[in-house]
Amino acid sequence: MNIRVKLADFNHKFEISASNCSARLPAGAVSIPENCVVEPSLPEKIGFRYRFFHLHSENEAQKLLNLLIHKTGADLTIVQPGEKWDGRGIGRWWVISEPFNSAREARTFSEEIARRLPANVPGRMRIEGGLFSEYPPHPSQNVRILTKDGKELCSDKIIRLHAPAGITVKQAPVGETFHWEHLEDLRFSGIIEIRPGQNGILIINEIPLEEYLASVNSSEMSAHAPLEFLKAQTIAARSTVAATKGCHHYGEPFDLCNGDHCQCYYGVSRIHERSQEAAELTAGLTLVHDGVIADARYAKTCGGVMETFDNVWENYDPPYLRPKFDGPGQDYLMEDPGSYISDSPDCWCNPELYPYPDYFDYAKPYFRWNFRYGNQELAHLLKTETGIDASEISDIKILRRGKSGRIVSLKIIGEKEIKIDGELNIRRAFSESHLPSSCFTIERTGGDFIIKGAGWGHGVGMCQMGALNMSLAGHTCAEILAHYYPEAELVDFFKS
């Protein structure tokens, strides 16, 4: 089974390097010299679709479709996103619109729909849509491959590059929009596909799922980690890929992106003997709940308590993603986020009690962290990051927190009052890149705002640093998974 991963969408030409490389085109194969240049075409017009809340039965989707069509007369259909995995569905259905010409048109439509619907839409059928860009199936522009001195080797709508020893994409982006963002030469096995993209050139890597997983476990963490941890990480990654395949990038010609949005994947240079071993030892093993693949999310450091799915993404509350304390200590009852954040609870991801190995030094500052901003500095930051012009900020009010203390809604009070919803939007608003997490408190000292926080990432599902420490303390992969995904069974889902 192959998986298609977006590596980049460049708006400029870039270089690739590979020996014995050939480009497969409808007219035949073209031999590609060791170093060459790929040129962008102009961006193709992108269509947008609107997705309503995803539903877990076709019957629910049909009911919502009927209700929406009856109330609005809109042109809608039901889809089951993602391909079938060995004949088994991924357990969700969407009601989607026909494509629009622009994101703005799609947004206007979704607002219109929201206005016309009755307030009493049944719970699970809450309207919680999202926009999806849709690449046209037959882009009119070509991409071109040239020698380094500018001679055209081939030009086509889709070029698929094959090279037995792998292909290096020069200066590919790593960690986009995060504080570790940089460019790096990355090597990939499998097929590199280039085609017109939203920005210019879309680069996709098509590789066998298991090889992808071997790279993900070391790209996400480190191949030096204990094998039991790498196995747990691989199973979680396999499960979440299978549970969401085709959902995160619906309408786009790839299954996943290679950034933090889906799963970090930086090619075969990151594959280590141990990461390969972890993938082989767990081949096919997947977490399943109630006959459906579990969406086994994970994040770097929970901070002490794990968050629920519905506080971060949409209205979905699977029993295997619980807001539980990341043990082994006594259950921590979070009464006051302020004292929780200044406390040092007995949880697996606490580096003071369970020291991280040297190769994870970089993660230590994110269990508990703080930032200090002057009033003007914070107002400027909000303006550049979100476009919000709060001018003088007089107060920031927390409206709602999730079970892990993560803020999911807050209000900034300045000359105007502005509400920010969503943990990721909140993390983006208060930092040039992202705050480590949205579990924080804000205090005012003099004219300054002091932000004190806990954890790194959304906090849903497996806490990677906690899981690593569990493995260092001698826990097995099965014990780690049972701790982070209670009620999910481990099965060889793809076995016939």
Residues that bind Zn ion (CB under 5 A): 248, 257, 261-262, 302, 326, 349, 463, 466
Q: CA nearest 48: which of 96, 111, 113, 115?
A: 96
Is 257 or 480 the residue whose CB approaches Zn ion more closely?
257
Q: CA nearest 289: which of 2, 493, 32, 73?
A: 493
Instruction: Compute how many other C-beta atoms are within 10 angstroms of the C-beta atom of residue 36.
Output: 20
SS3 string of 235-269? Answer: HHHHHHHHHHCCCCCCCCCCCEECCCCCCCCCCHH
Shortest CB 285 distance to Zn ion, Å: 23
Is 125 or 247 the residue whose CB approaches Zn ion more closely?
247
In degrees rounded to 5, what are phi and psi of residue 219? -70, -40
Shortest CB 184 distance to Zn ion, Å: 19
Is 110 or 404 the residue whose CB approaches Zn ion more closely?
404
Shortest CB 494 distance to Zn ion, Å: 23
Shortest CB 54 distance to Zn ion, Å: 16
Place of tokens 């005012």: 444
Place of tokens 């929406």: 68
Is 156 or 252 the residue whose CB approaches Zn ion more closely?
252
Residue 151 CB burial class (10 angstroms; 0-12, 13-18, ≥19): exposed
Tokens (6 digits) for 449? 């705002």
The Cβ-side half-sphere exposure at 163, using a 13 Å CA radius, reads 23
Rounded CA gap, 440 and 427, in Å?
10
Q: CA nearest 237: which of 181, 190, 275, 268?
A: 275
Shortest CB 302 distance to Zn ion, Å: 3
Coil, strand, or helix at residue 279? helix
Is 54 or 248 the residue whose CB approaches Zn ion more closely?
248
Q: Using the 8-state DSSP alphabet, how is residue 52 labeled?
A: P
Is 284 or 329 the residue whose CB approaches Zn ion more closely?
329
Contact 167, 145 (CB under 8 A): no
Shortest CB 71 distance to Zn ion, Å: 32
Shortest CB 301 distance to Zn ion, Å: 6
Is 69 or 482 the residue whose CB approaches Zn ion more closely?
482
Q: Residue 215: which region, alpha, beta or left (left: phi > 0; alpha: psi -120 to 50)?
A: alpha
Is 332 or 494 the residue whose CB approaches Zn ion more closely?
332
Shortest CB 354 distance to Zn ion, Å: 10
DSSP letters along 69-134, please? HHHH---EEEE--S--BTTB--S-BEEEEPPBSSHHHHHHHHHHHHHHS-TT--GGG----EEEEE
Rounded CA gap, 431 and 449, in Å?
13
Place of tokens 């629009």: 100
Q: Using the 8-state DSSP alphabet, how is residue 180 labeled?
A: T
Is 51 or 144 the residue whose CB approaches Zn ion more closely?
51
Rounded CA gap, 187 and 18, in Å?
9
Shortest CB 463 distance to Zn ion, Å: 3
Is 17 or 263 the residue whose CB approaches Zn ion more closely?
263
Shortest CB 260 distance to Zn ion, Å: 8
Is 284 or 422 the residue whose CB approaches Zn ion more closely?
422
Residue 367 CB burial class (10 angstroms; 0-12, 13-18, ≥19): buried
Shortest CB 289 distance to Zn ion, Å: 21
